[in-house]
Amino acid sequence: MTGRKPAIEAPIPNRIADLRERAGLSRAELAQRIGVNPQTIGYLERGEYNPSLALAFRLADLFQLSVEQIFVRD
């Protein structure tokens, strides 16, 4: 172990708020459908939290998009 602190990841820009609104879902409804707390949706939409890979795939499945269509890479 080197004693180094893990790097803090920069937020990954995403389209969750837009997709959620287009689907006519509230944050609570989206959270229920993908099995997370509604606060998690807010954190994701504001870019305060990067999702796990499993959560990213649940979102992709729900919106019927690829992960790359939801999360933007530079």
Ordered by start, the domain boundaries in the chain are 16-68
As its CATH architecture, domain 16-68 has Orthogonal Bundle (1.10)
Which two tokens mark 8? 């803090």
Residues in the chain: 74
Residue with the bigger pLDDT between 70 and 3: it is 70
**Residue 45 in tokens:** 């939409």
Q: Tell me, what's the pLDDT at 1?
A: 52
Q: What letter represents residue 24's amino acid?
A: G
Residue 67 or residue 1, greater confidence:
67
Rounded distance, CA 19 to CA 36, Å? 17
Q: Tens of pLDDT along 3-39?
A: 665 556 788 999 999 999 999 999 999 999 999 999 9
pTM: 0.84
Asked if 31 and 41 count as a contact pair (C-beta separation under 8 A), the reply is yes
